[in-house]
Amino acid sequence: MAKMQEKPAIWPFGGYISAFLFAAYLCASLKTGCMTGQKSVKTDQYQGHDYYLMDELLSQDHLMARDAVRDWVKQEVSPIIEDYSNRAACPTHLFKGLAEIGAYGPSLPVEYGGGGMDEIAYGVIMQELERGDSGIRSMASVQGSLVMYPIFRYASEELKKKYLPKLGSGEMIGCFGLTEPDHGSNPGGMVTKIVDDGDAYILNGAKMWITNSPVADLAVVWAKDEEGKIRGMIVESGWKGFSAPEIHGKWSLRASITGELVFEDVRVPKSHVFPDVKGLKGPLSCLSKARYGIAWGAVGAALDCYDSALRYSKEREQFGRPLAGFQLTQKKLAEMITEITKAQLLVWRLGSLANEGRATPAQISMAKRNNVFMALEIAREARQIHGGMGITNEYPIMRHMMNLETVLTYEGTHDIHLLITGQDVTGLNAFS
């Protein structure tokens, strides 16, 4: 089994630097921001839930990062997210804020625009962001894991220096183009291609379902060369022949912007094509990084649904007593916290393996599949506990539930991840 990646660079003081930045950010926003009552908004009453005392397994750096992002989400995301989702609008102003809290590439080296923290810090940050909304976590995971990570890992030093600091600071936004209209689960069948033309390649083709593409300054694009080998490249959105029309009509991930990528004779300088990686393992290595973050993120969405259901069931009375006092409600709540706790243990162990460079793609697939499905089931149960109120945007449940339908599908569908586990344990490929 292939390893997730080489041992990540952990910068000795990176975590403290990031924690300091978080604290400075929070002080500033408390003075100037939404706490001053500029806008009437619902209070986000979320509290974390830690049934198995998992916090004892986290370092001070992890806890500071987690708490700072939680506070940021309460101040910047919760007050606006229902409105943006309702309007199917992307809160693009948050791209900069996400950079300020260190959400882009938390485990990439500081000198390359990352946070210099470890993989568990990356995980807890994704968890807190997705607790707010899966689309906000998407904004961060595409930028960090699918754009900065491949540039960090595969691009020339010159291009790393050119793009990574701007991506890390949110000055530039990136997207990741792998999926095509006719090649989703099977990206190896892609038809987007590059043809040699002297000092450049000519890129033609189309990508579909690309998070952030309509607002992106650049795309990391995967296309086949004349030998049929998959190559990765950085393509700037301003180049002639590049367009990125928005996809409308999504009932899921409505606060995240999604589009196509269309390439019509785009001239890509040869220096922009990653020199040393050929084949599907290039894009799949980036997906491992992003799927890992989603496995953590889904726990956040589940926690938010559980938290809301627990509170609602204690407050809402029927037949003269709180819903929480009925055995059937308790069964739902008890099963929810059991599944959340199992998922928390899974990602914590996965994070420990990732810190040692030992997390395999198949282990990551298992965690992504289990935790996203778990979160979706919890959203459904939480919706029932909220009764009719559960379908409104007074509560976050339906938004999470609709979002999780996408999360179940992107970065490899629920069934594709099952087949990856099946292949890993049997040694037999059941894909094709």
Q: Which residues carry out catalysis?
A: 411
Site for ligand TGC in 330-369 (CB under 6 A): 361
Residue (14 or 412) nearer to ligand FAD, CB: 412
Distances in whole angstroms, Cα of residue 410 to Cα of each of 89, 191, 230, 323: 20, 20, 20, 36
142 touches ligand TGC (CB under 6 A): yes
Instruction: For the CB of residue 34, give the shortest distance to ligand TGC in the complex, in Å.
Output: 26
Dist. CA 237–CA 257, nearest whole Å: 16
The 3-state secondary structure of 125-170 reads: HHHHHHHHCHHHHHHHHHHHHHHHHHHHHHCCHHHHHHHHHHHHCC
Q: Of 380 and 414, which CB lies nearer to ligand TGC in the complex structure?
A: 414
Number of residues that bind ligand TGC (CB under 6 A): 26
415 binds, among ligand FAD, ligand TGC, none (CB under 5 to 8 A by kind): ligand FAD
Question: To the nearest 5 percent, what fractions of the chain are helix, strand and coil?
Answer: 55, 15, 30
- The DSSP call for residue 200 is E
* Least Å from the CB of residue 234 to ligand FAD: 15
Q: Which of 287, 333, 350, 374 binds ligand TGC (CB under 6 A)?
A: 287
140 binds ligand TGC (CB under 6 A): no
Find the shortest distance in angstroms from Cβ 412 to ligand TGC: 3
Return the residue nearest ligand TGC (CB atom). Answer: 361
Alpha-carbon distance 23 to 265, whole Å? 47
Report yes or no: 298 and 372 within 8 Å, Cβ to Cβ: yes
Give me the least distance between CB of 277 and ligand FAD, in Å please.
17
Q: Is 408 in the site for ligand TGC (CB under 6 A)?
A: no
Report, in Å, the least distance between residue 283 CB and ligand TGC.
7
The residue type found at 116 is G
Rule CB under 6 A: say whether 279 interacts with ligand TGC: yes
Q: Give yes or no for a contact between 299 and 293, defined as CB atoms under 8 angstroms apart.
A: no
Site for ligand TGC in 26-45 (CB under 6 A): none
Question: 252: helix, coil or strand?
Answer: coil
Is residue 200 within 8 A of residue 220, CB to CB? The reply is no
Residue 331 burial (CB < 10 Å; 0-12/13-18/19+)? exposed
* Helices and strands, number each (H, E), in the chain: 13, 9
As a whole number of angstroms, the distance between CA 78 and CA 392 comes to 15
Stretch that binds ligand TGC, among 67-75, 135-143, 217-225, 380-388 (CB under 6 A): 135-143
**DSSP string of 306-348, one letter each residue:** HHHHHHHHHH-EETTEEGGGSHHHHHHHHHHHHHHHHHHHHHH
Residues binding ligand FAD (CB under 6 A): 142, 175-179, 184-185, 209-211, 253, 258, 406, 409-411, 413, 415-416, 431
* Nearby residues of 235 by Cβ (< 8 Å), 6 or more positions away: 203, 218, 219, 220, 221, 242, 263, 266, 268, 272
Stretch that binds ligand TGC, among 81-89, 174-182, 312-320, 324-332 (CB under 6 A): 174-182
Choose which of 57, 202, 416, 418 interacts with ligand TGC (CB under 6 A): 416
The least CB distance from residue 430 to ligand FAD, in Å, is 7
- Of 277 and 389, which has the nearer Cβ to ligand TGC? 277
Q: CB of 66 within 8 A of CB of 47?
A: no
Residue 95 is a binding residue for ligand TGC (CB under 6 A): no
Per CB under 6 A, the list member of 75, 78, 127, 141 interacting with ligand TGC is: 141
Provide the mask over 176-215, with x wherever binding to ligand TGC is found by CB under 6 A and - wherever it is not. Answer: x-xx-----x-xx----------------------x----
**CB 239, min distance to ligand TGC, A:** 22
Q: DSSP assignment, residue 263?
A: E
Residue 188 partner contact from ligand FAD, ligand TGC, none using kind-dependent CB cut-offs of 5 to 8 Å: ligand TGC
Contact residues for ligand TGC, defined by CB under 6 A: 2, 138, 141-142, 176, 178-179, 185, 187-188, 211, 279-281, 284-285, 287-288, 290, 361, 410-412, 416, 420, 431
